[in-house]
């Protein structure tokens, strides 16, 4: 594992990500739609954090191509796992995601 500041920034950003994801999809959306939206949002946030920390276009000096690709995968995986863990253990217990979901965009609303 590469010790990189972008990993910490991805972790901090991903703690709030379940709130954004709850705003996007409909509560009764299919599990497939939820998984696709969550995966795409997490990849987009990981890319954005790496781009803002100037790690995407110009990786850290001294890293091989393999280590650079590993850093990209670690950021995406960390983003997904942190968002999932914080949703399951924190945000859903507080009921915040339910309130935000009611006012959200309702992507994937099932047809009656």
Q: Quick one: what percent of the chain has pLDDT higher than 90?
A: 22
Residue 82's pLDDT band (boundaries 50, 70, 90)? very high
Residue 20 and residue 22: Cα distance in Å, rounded? 5
Sequence length of the chain is: 112
Average pLDDT for 7-27 = 88
| Residue 22 near residue 66, CB atoms below 8 Å | no
Q: What pLDDT score was predicted for residue 1? A: 56
Alpha helices, H only, the chain = 5-14, 17-24, 31-52, 65-86, 92-94, 96-102
Query: What integer best gives the mean pLDDT of the chain?
Result: 84
Nearest to 96 by CA among 13, 20, 28, 12: 20
Domain coordinates in residue numbering, the chain: 5-102
Q: What pLDDT score was predicted for residue 103? A: 78
Q: What pLDDT score was predicted for residue 56? A: 67
Q: What pLDDT score was predicted for residue 112? A: 66
Residue 2's pLDDT band (boundaries 50, 70, 90)? low
């Amino acid at each position: 594992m590469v010790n990189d500041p972008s990993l910490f920034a991805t972790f901090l950003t991903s703690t709030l990500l379940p709130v954004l994801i709850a705003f996007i999809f409909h509560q009764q959306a299919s599990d497939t739609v939820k998984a696709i939206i969550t995966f795409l949002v997490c990849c987009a946030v990981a890319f954005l954090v790496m781009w803002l920390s100037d790690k995407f276009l110009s990786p850290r000096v001294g890293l091989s191509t393999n280590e650079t690709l590993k850093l990209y995968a670690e950021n995406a995986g960390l983003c997904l796992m942190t968002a999932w863990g914080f949703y399951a253990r924190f945000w859903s217990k507080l009921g915040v995601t339910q309130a935000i979901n009611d006012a959200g965009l309702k992507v994937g609303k099932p047809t009656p």
